[in-house]
Structure 1
Amino acid sequence: MSWYNEAVFYHIYPLGLTGAPAQNDYSAPVHRLNTLLPWIDHIQKIGCTALYIGPLFESVGHGYETTDYKKLDSRLGTNEDLTNFVAACHEKGIRVIFDGVFNHTGRDFFAFKDIQANREHSRYVNWYCNVNFGGNTEYNDGFSYENWGGYNLLVKLNQRNPEVQNYICDVIRFWVSEFDIDGIRLDAADVLDFDFMRTLRHTADEVKKDFWLMGEVIHGDYSRWVNGGTLHSVTNYALHKALYSGHNDHNYFEIAHTVKYLQNMGDLDLYNFVDNHDVERIYTKLSNKAHFAPVHVLLYTLPGIPSIYYGSEFGIEGKKEKFSDASLRPALNLEDYKNAVTENPCTALIAALGKIRKATPGLSYGSYNELMLTNRQYAFARDLDNVRVIVTVNNDDNAAGMNLPVGSTAAYIGALSGKRAEVQGGRINVTIPANSGEIWIPEEQMKGETPVPAAIPKSVKPDVVKTKEEVADVAAEDSKDPDLLKTETAEKPVETNAEAAINTTIASEDSETVKTDLTKEESKEAKAPVKPDWSKSPEEMTVAELQAAILAKMAGNGPITDQMKKTVDDNIWHDSLVNWLKSFR
């Protein structure tokens, strides 16, 4: 295994964090990158072991319209500053990856400037895609060209041109020799030529042991990019969407379905995140700010490599604007957050999760097994070398009990709370507080590790968590408004056919949940008890038969509580019930 399989990433957009001017006048370097040196200790303190930083190189504006791939942006400083910064990270045991913007250049890039000057006679005409001297653009160059995203500011490179390939590979070699980096995040990887990516992978394998290539990919079957010939990982936008909307809609089925969908692609080590420089801050995105806790418990424990975007560990806001991403990329003064690890519950939670992940190999390498799933509660195991780590999350405003299979160990300890759960009949009964999560580790594995009871925020903002009486009042008012029975459509990106199928299933399940909730009380008395038909396979059983079978299995392991009955009754998803029944041994 390599360093990146166990990494916890911190993500910095340096032009924003340092407060650099929005436009580059290419004047004398200003050493703003050096102001980020104190952040290295902070990154280490919250348990991050790797840094993704970029864009870094000379550009005219936001950094993705590159002017010079071999020169640090003068708004940030000099190449010497960058060399020293990476070395300082390495001294603290933090790996560093740069942003590789290789799909396009800016208009100030030397090859494009040569075409402007020499037109058809330029030796660089074929460095770009579809240069047409019979066309024009808003810049009135007297020629047109293919761009990225509809922006003529970003000129698309011809990645099938051997000269372009050799040039970019030389850039990678330069970054390793000059700055000693450990990997590259490829911008816009979902539109990069696959042969070009294979060339980059070949170079990556040559320049440094365990050199990591991660690509920005929004949609599609991630296994197209993540394999032995192209990239090691890609951005997990599918899980990003599920994590916030699964909490906003009280729909853990969306998250669990997304995990299964991703696992069907193969054993991929994806780059997981809840926000970044292109999307709204998770604290802004969440309808209930207290869900910050279960969201991040899942980020650190589901399969994949977790990443924290700078500032989000403090619970800062950041709303996406129509014509600018500046609000997502703010300048921050670390001195304003010097006591955050001890005084800010969001930061304390992130630091605790980083510590737990480092001490728990199963969270990096363990298999994933779903144990329990309802709209508001979710539990799964990460199994490695006969050690089972259990993760439990609850998005409800009330505490919830769970009865879960654990194996033969004697007891489990909640790594966040310090609570102890005895194992009885191969199972544990645990209670998860409202809007919370826990990581249960076998007691013998916790020796020498200290839980962090204060780290998990009871409520990130007290005014967003209503009392039971307030919830009842709101529910009574909502019941008078038929419009509120409609399922809101969450903001989502364009879907592939596979993603559309999953989201259609989720939407239909949400609809069925509404119908079921409306009729459950009035039909409860009339419903005759159902007995499981053990002659059927779980797949052949009806929902009611599966529920009855699960309760019967539970009864064999000890007394059934009202909460256990409610949990089974609330689960009306056939596939989930089948998996649940099969989990009994």
Structure 2
Amino acid sequence: MWSYDSVFYQISTLGFCGAPTENDGVLAHRIKKVEDWIPHMVKLGVDAIYFCPVFESDRHGYDTRDYTKLDVRLGTNEDFKEVCGKLHDNNIKVVLDGVFNHVGRGFFAFQDLLKNRENSPYKDWFTNVNFGWNNNYNDGLSYEGWEGHNELVKLNLRNEEVIRHIFSAVEGWIKEFDIDGLRLDVAYSLDMDFVRRLRQFVDSKKDDFYLLGEMIHGDYNRLLDEQNMLHSVTNYQAYKGMWSSFNDRNLFEINYTLEQHFCGMYQGRHLLNFLDNHDVNRLASTLREKEHLPLVYAMLFAIPGIPCVYYGSEWAAEGKKENGGDEALRPSFEAPEWNELTDYISRLAKVHKSEKTLCYGSYRKVFLTNRQIVFERSFDGERILVAINLEENPFHASFDAGAAEAVDLLTGEKAVFQGGLDMPAFSAAYLKITG
């Protein structure tokens, strides 16, 4: 699967493009802005882009009105087809957000339900419709909203007409835009039979079509199945473990998560790893010590799984939730920036993609204190030791490397093991064993 040795880049499409918060119905070709960023993505080492929702919606994209039409605030389907074509020309795969658990109140079938009530042919398209009740919109009926949000009308994914409607839209995305995969919004809420059928459907339409699921909590294995369900899920546990370990200077936390995952319940899985996204505070606003920024990224690109970078965070853009809203997390930058952190992440991406051991290797802890960690990734007879020191002082880690020397893939410099390893202050190294 192409995704397993890829570096992902996520954009919150409506925010990235500077679209108005409310759908004003005014056509604007904002999606073309993505084309201006392609050289930046290529230089960064990106080979897959994940777009947050792009289809016609009421407000933020997760309240779909029309699965077949690019949001008017972004442009036309032809605009997006050209964008996808240029991304593919630069060897960047395209993954779209599949928001199938719920729709917006502007969705055509829901509008018909409100108008025709019991006589609507779409009355069974939605979950728990009750014509003898009311809701906060005073519709004279009630229905199930996702996690109590009535602006997000929950679809009945056991209804064959709903399934056909969604599958028809997905087929259209494959044919029109040649997309390479889907990220399933709130996958943990989806009907499991629907997920299985979606997998069978996309497999029949395009080879190596990637399915990623949003999993915030619970057992990832519930949806992970490379043969029948999802190829990957979002690794929120590692996300929390990474920034929290650095902030508390307690690397035992992230090591516990990594051992639990990759020496146990998710061994051999390819989870999508990230340090921030459209729903959480940006890393640069979360970390207490700015010297740790490159070190956390070094960990992101070294642990098992697929690394994903959120647009703007590669140059340490900041952003926090404000009054419960996500607008500050999803800004429009006039142009991409490039600084020392961006350059470092580019180097990490290049090494990650060039070393199968970092994409497919096993995980083993070699040395661990609160502020230092050395772990081994091994694959097909090759070994890479990843060494990270969070401390402002140099440190000597005493361990048996099982080798005499290595080369640091990040610097090209030779490393010698003499009863362990000398680790400079605030440092990270990817040490490929050479002898």
* TM score, norm. by length of structure 2: 0.97
What is the rounded CA distance, in whole Å, between the counterparts of 2:42 and 2:135 in structure 1?
A: 47
- 2:330 and 2:373 map into 1 onto residues whose CA distance is 33
Aligned to 1:260: 259
Partner of 1:24: 23
1:555-574 map, 5 Å = none
Residue type of the alignment partner of 2:177: F
**Aligned counterparts, 1:87-486, within 5 A:** 87-227=85-225, 228-263=227-262, 264-266=264-266, 267-334=268-335, 337=337, 340=338, 344-408=339-403, 411-423=405-417, 429-443=420-434
CA contact (8 A) 2:259 2:363 kept: no
Deviations 1:43-102 (A, max 9, x none): 111111100012100011111000000100000000001111111111111111000000
Q: Is contact 1:55–1:100 with CA below 8 Å preserved after alignment?
A: yes
Alpha-carbon separation, structure 2, partners of 1:259 and 1:91:
36
In structure 1, what is the Cα distance between the partners aligned to 2:120 and 2:399?
68
Does the Cα contact within 8 Å between 1:388 and 1:442 map onto a contact in 2? yes
Q: Give the Å deviation of 1:177.
A: 0.4
Counterpart among 62, 71, 74 of residue 72 in structure 2? 74
Q: Which residue of 1 aligns with 2:37?
A: 39
Which deviates more, 208-217 or 396-405?
A: 396-405
1:59 pairs with 2:47: no
Determine the C-alpha separation between the residues in 1 that align with 2:219 and 2:136.
36
1:212-257 CA-partner distances (Å, limit 9, x unpaired): 0101110111111111321111100000000000011111000000
User: Which of 63-72 and 319-328 deviates more?
Assistant: 319-328
Residue 7 of structure 1 and its aligned partner are, at CA, apart by 0.8
Displacement of 1:374 in angstroms is: 0.8
Question: 2 CA distance for matches of 1:22 and 1:54?
Answer: 14
Contact 2:272 2:308 in 1 (8 A): yes
1:185 counterpart SS class: strand
CA distance in 1, matches of 2:377, 2:399: 13
Instruction: Give the AA of the match of 1:434.
Output: A
| Amino acid of the structure 1 residue aligned with 2:383 | R
Once the two structures are superposed, residues 139-166 of structure 1 have per-residue CA deviations (whole angstroms, 9 ceiling, x without a partner) of: 1111110001221110000011111111
* Structure (1 or 2) with the greater helix fraction: 1
Q: Aligned pairs, how many?
A: 432
CA distance in structure 2 between the aligned counterparts of 1:86 and 1:399, rounded to whole angstroms: 47
Which residue in the other structure is 2:13 paired with? 14
CA contact (8 A) 2:375 2:387 kept: yes
Shift of 1:402: 2.2
Q: Name 1:458's counterpart in structure 2.
A: none
Structure 1 runs not aligned, ≥5 long: 445-585
Distance 1:397 1:34, change over 3 A: same
Q: Which residue of 2 aligns with 1:50?
A: 48
The CA distance in 2 between the partners of 1:99 and 1:265, in whole Å, is 27
Distance 1:197 1:163, change over 3 A: same
1:285-310 CA distance string (max 9 Å, x none): 00111111221111001011000000
SS in 2 for 1:112: helix
Work out the CA distance in 2 between the residues paired with 1:305 and 1:198: 23
- SS of the equivalent of 1:229 reads coil
SS in 1 for 2:23: coil
Q: Structure 2: which amino acid aligns with 1:368?
A: Y
- 8 Å CA contact 2:385, 2:433 repeated in 1: no
The equivalent residue for 1:465 is: none
Greater alpha carbon shift after TM alignment, 87-96 vs 263-272: 263-272
Closer, same or farther: CA 44–143 of 1 in aligned 2, 3 Å? same
Q: Distance in 2 between matches of 1:443 and 1:57?
A: 50
1:293/1:435 contact within 8 Å kept:
no
In the alignment, the residues of structure 2 paired with residue 90 and residue 20 of structure 1 have an alpha-carbon distance, to the nearest angstrom, of 24
Q: Which residue in the other structure is 1:462 paired with? A: none
Q: Which amino acid aligns with 1:15?
A: L
Q: CA deviation at 1:352?
A: 0.7
CA distance in 2, matches of 1:136, 1:396: 58
Q: Deviations over 1:364-383 (max 9, x none)?
A: 01111110111000111111
Which amino acid is the alignment partner of residue 183 of structure 1?
A: G
What does residue range 507-546 of structure 1 map to in structure 2 within 5 Å?
none
Task: Identify unmatched segments of 5+ residues in structure 2.
Answer: none
Point out which structure has higher relative CO (alpha carbons under 8 A, 6+ apart). 2
**Displacement after TM superposition at 1:419 (Å):** 2.9
Aligned-CA RMSD value = 1.4
5 Å matches for 1:568-583?
A: none
Aligned-residue offset at 1:349: 1.1
TM-superposed deviation, 1:404: 4.1
Cα distance in 1 between the residues matched to 2:364 and 2:136:
55
Q: 2: distance between equivalents of 1:100 and 1:326?
A: 21
Contact 2:259 2:364 in 1 (8 A): no
Contact 1:223 1:268 in 2 (8 A): no
Name the one with the larger strand percent. Answer: 2
Equivalent AA in structure 2 for residue 256 of structure 1? N
Runs of 4+ in 1 over 3 A off after TM superposition: 403-408
